[in-house]
Structure 1
Amino acid sequence: MNIPGTIILSRPDNLGDAVLTLPLAGAIKARSPGTRIIALVKRYTEPLWRHCTHVDGTLALEDLQAAGTDAPEHLKKVGADTIIHVFPQRDVANWAKQAGIPLRIGTSHRSWHWTTCNRRIDFSRKNSDLHEAQLNFKLLAPFGMVVPELQTLAPLMGLHLPQADVAVRHLLMPDRINVILHPLKVTGAAWGLANFGDLIRAMDPARYHILLTGTQAEAEVYRSALPVDLPHVTDTGGALSLEQLMALIGQVDALVAASTGPLHIAAASGIRTVGLFNMRRPLHPGRWAPLGPDARVLVQDPDCPQCKRGQPCDCITRIPIARVLELLPQ
């Protein structure tokens, strides 16, 4: 089957998931440069999609929800030939069918897709050994496209970070190695604030400038545990829009975080990225490792028996500070 003229990629999901969907858009454009790609996403992730060269426009899930019964008409106006439900969302699936989008592709593992999708692909994310970015390619099977090798995906990202404005540039120290530490995360295992605090104290102030990032709510948590008042630390928590955070990532030398959206943005941008993981499925690095030319992953024990049993495990917190320091630019 030929790739249609206009495709909606529906991924109204979190930031890291969005980054790992960008190669899907890149592969479609590589195969069919004239295809128009519209991303249906959560509003807060729109700046990311808008800075992807493969994406021609965005739709915010929240705008469709606000439209109520008119949501299918809003989708119809896009003129899409196909919608690919990369992240299954029941309302979106119903709207797409009501809008009369001719080809509606989704996984067969969501019950509502049996009444809303006319091409259902049988695969399981939970039990797969593939990376998240590779799993997305399963949904391109109707176009005769196969799952690519993992190392081929980073060049398909097409992510170009925004220019830094004056406020962002003023956060940097040109005579230091600028490193972002993103200490908190929404889901999955975390390295722990105690470790981040020890890392900050271990980083030579004459060499490194540390920038802490996070939402306002996250900053209120980490400020009570981290040495934010040290002279080589700049706390940006709650002060940056996503656009500004992306621009800042594009200006620094490295970023350290567990599996978060900023980790994946940093890897895609090409800077040194240090990702901290445990080996418990399905949140292990085999599924969620950052993709980029200078991305690195640290785990404490690749054969952790507790992780292998699928039990809650804190082995990530035992990754030594020294191993992180070894991976930072010198």
Structure 2
Amino acid sequence: MLEKDHKKILIIKLCCLGDVIFLTPALRALRIQNPTSRITLLVSSWVRDIVSQIPFIDDVIIYDAPLKKRFSINAFLETIRLLKRLRRLKYNTLLIGHRNKLFAILGYFSGIPMRIGFADRPSLWITHPVHFDMNEHEIKRYLRLTEECGATSLNLETEICPSVEEVKHTTELFQRLGIKSNDSIIGIFAGGGQNPGTSMQIKRWDVKYYIEFCRKIIQADNTKILLLGNKDDQPVNAEILAAFQSKKDKMFDLSGRTSLCALPALLQKCRIVIGADTGPLHMAAAVGTPTIFLFGPSDPRLVAPQVPNSIYLWKTVFCTPCYTPESVMQRKYFIGKEFICWTKTHECLKSLTVDEVFTAYSKLMNAISHHDR
């Protein structure tokens, strides 16, 4: 338990969607251990709409300066304004979910006395260091930060709570689309891999594989397929939809038609959601929807959801995993902001067959149906 004068807690995790969702078990542990503390989450506007549906926090502060491409006077002024605000709010404890020293320095100049972050030894900037173990699941790493202030937990399940308003909007959307309450709604997230600092299109399973997979599942009488994503994912989803012109009453392209704020409620209505290791798939797992993750360059042992009915498929070819906590910090693996397949083969996902995914889907669907009886 925090001391009586440690009742205002600030947690910094700017980005991205999956990482903020991984933080929820740590936030839950903090809230359970400190029910009367004021807990604030400092995030970027990229994830603003989702943090309002995290049930363990009281306040949200938006800070975008570190995500901007280059130094600017506006970014500098934004940082100065943030420093003044944090000093005025007088936080007692800071937990830093990044390895970048910038945030520890920010905490120091904000006058926060207890600063917990990833480091190997105490310093002027970090008073309570936590070793960053590259072989540890990301959720467990965040929980080790909370352990430094007495909040421990063995519960690794992520958690997002869709708002009542968004649940209502989703119900109305389904009514407009002609989707019935007894339909088996399958969410497909064929795109993704984009965030403010990095592009990882190598995480995507080939669109031709998705088309073949959808052909296998769309035959069931009550199956309805939702193609999910934002505007950037519209070309991929349009290619899938074009292959099912005679099935327009069974497949719907919602890319760019729903906000990030609305996505949790929509995902909660799905029977199963399938896609790559991307934020929306982690969101689906966090609202309790069964998921099938198609892993390639990233390591599921470090980032796969720790919830029931979430499974992953991963072909461990000679070069996997290539996207790791170590490689993401090295620019040699990037061209611009694009993380590249250095073998130029994309073998990890090319070798994952449609039949393997369909078999996993069938087993999960049978398990869900058996549970519902």
TM-score for the superposition, normalised by structure 2: 0.76
Contact 1:263 1:290 in 2 (8 A): no
Match of 1:212 in 2: 227
Matches within 5 A, 1:93-104: 93-104=104-115
Give distance in 2, aligned partners of 1:98 and 1:309: 37
Q: Which runs of 5+ in 2 are unaligned?
A: 67-74, 194-199, 324-341, 367-373
Shift of 1:317: 3.0
- Stretches of 4+ aligned residues off by more than 4 angstroms: 63-66, 308-313
Contact 1:268 1:291 in 2 (8 A): no
2:349 pairs with one of 301, 316, 324? 316
Give distance in 1, aligned partners of 2:105 and 2:178: 47
Contact 2:33 2:150 in 1 (8 A): no
Match of 1:18 in 2: 20
Matched residue of 1:224: which SS? helix
Matched residue of 1:40: which SS? strand
Shift of 1:329: 2.8
**Matched residue count:** 315
1:242-298 Cα offsets, whole Å, 9 max, x none, are 1111221122211001111111111111111111113x5xx2110111232221112
Q: Which runs of 5+ in 1 are unaligned?
A: none
Give distance in 2, aligned partners of 1:88 and 1:161: 30
TM-score for the superposition, normalised by structure 1: 0.85
Match of 2:204 in 1: 190
When residues 191 and 158 of structure 1 are mapped into structure 2, their CA distance, relative to the original with a 3 A threshold, is closer
Match of 2:2 in 1: 2
Shift of 1:327: 4.0
Matches within 5 A, 1:29-178: 29-62=31-64, 65=75, 67-108=78-119, 114-125=123-134, 128=135, 130-144=136-150, 149=154, 152-154=155-157, 157-163=158-164, 164=167, 165=169, 166-167=172-173, 170-171=176-177, 173-174=179-180, 175-178=182-185
RMSD: 2.7
Matches within 5 A, 1:233-252: 233-252=251-270
Q: Decide which moves more: 311-320 or 75-84.
A: 311-320
Contact 1:264 1:291 in 2 (8 A): no
Indicate whether 1:200 and 2:214 are aligned.
Answer: yes
| 1:81 counterpart letter in structure 2 | N
Shift of 1:225: 5.2
When residues 91 and 167 of structure 1 are mapped into structure 2, their CA distance, relative to the original with a 3 A threshold, is farther
Contact 2:284 2:291 in 1 (8 A): yes
Shift of 1:62: 2.6
Matches within 5 A, 1:277-288: 277-278=295-296, 283-288=298-303
| 1:60 counterpart letter in structure 2 | I
Q: Percent identity?
A: 21
Match of 2:69 in 1: none
